[in-house]
Amino acid sequence: MRKHRSIFIVILMLLTVVVINASQIISALIAYQMNRPNAAVIEIVTELFALLLMILLNRFIFKAKVAWHQLPARRQWLLLLPIVIVLIGDATLGARFLLTPENIVLAVVTGLAVGVFEEYVFRGIVISFLKTNFHARNLTLILFSGLAFGALHLLNAFEGNVLNTLLQAVSAVAIGFFFAAIYLITGSLWLPILAHGIIDAFDQLAFQTLSNTAGFGIATSLIYTFSFTLISWLLYRKYLTR
């Protein structure tokens, strides 16, 4: 695995799929014991179990040193601004906000749970492992991270909406480029987690689900893909070519 980047990515993706499915089974068993299981609560439990399992797999298999501790500098918080593009775009796709205290809390926790798990895997493990074991350059790290992140979203095709799945996956690749760039710039996983969490929390509030059947249109997907690919390239040229 240390000699072939593609083998590492394939193994990581397969293990991630196994972890997600195992976590969904655990969540379903917990939900079975509840009289009125909440979909958002089930999602949170799934993501937390998945995170725990991936931390264990990383500890014993990948041993990637994920950069957690260095908080972003004051100006680096401005790197969050591009996510406004997604918030505005998603708000135009039939959003129906339910702004009750319970929904807001569940949306924030859901967004952060998804953000922590996916950023830990696709920025933390992918980038740190490739950088340490293959001495990959920053552009390669950004590309692998974004492509792996987008590939995971193809699993949503099992929900039955192939077009929305493709739109989601393509957009996820570009947004993954952006998350990878800010991870490399800041040296901390916290800013990508926060950016990711804000987007998912917004969508949870807007559509009451994170399903691929909501929050995607052809025009907005193209805008996201072009915008975040361009932004990622500009960030790479400005901060990561030195």
Q: Could you tell me if 168 and 154 are in contact, meaning their C-beta atoms sit under 8 angstroms apart?
A: no
- Proportion of the chain above pLDDT 70, given as a percent: 94
- d(C-alpha 54, C-alpha 125), whole Å: 9
pTM strictly above 0.85? yes
67-124 confidence digits (pLDDT tens):
887 777 778 899 999 999 999 999 998 888 888 999 999 999 999 999 999 999 999 9
- d(C-alpha 176, C-alpha 41), whole Å: 25
- d(C-alpha 120, C-alpha 152), whole Å: 14
Q: Could you tell me if 224 and 85 are in contact, meaning their C-beta atoms sit under 8 angstroms apart?
A: yes
122-153 confidence digits (pLDDT tens):
999 999 999 999 999 999 999 999 999 999 99
| pLDDT value for 54 | 97
DSSP at 71: P
pLDDT mean across residues, the chain: 91
Q: What secondary structure does DSSP assign to 99-165, as a single string?
A: --HHHHHHHHHHHHHHHHHHHIIIIIIHHHHHHHHH---HHHHHHHHHHHHHHHHGGGGGGS-HHHH
| pLDDT value for 215 | 62
Q: Where are the domains of the chain?
A: 5-239
**pLDDT surpassing 90 at residue 234:** yes
Residues in the chain: 242
**pLDDT surpassing 70 at residue 219:** yes
**pLDDT surpassing 90 at residue 4:** no
Closest CA to 46 of 64, 20, 12: 20
**pLDDT surpassing 90 at residue 179:** yes
Torsion angles phi and psi, residue 240, rounded to 5: -120, 10
Classify 68 as helix, strand or coil: coil
**pLDDT surpassing 80 at residue 46:** yes
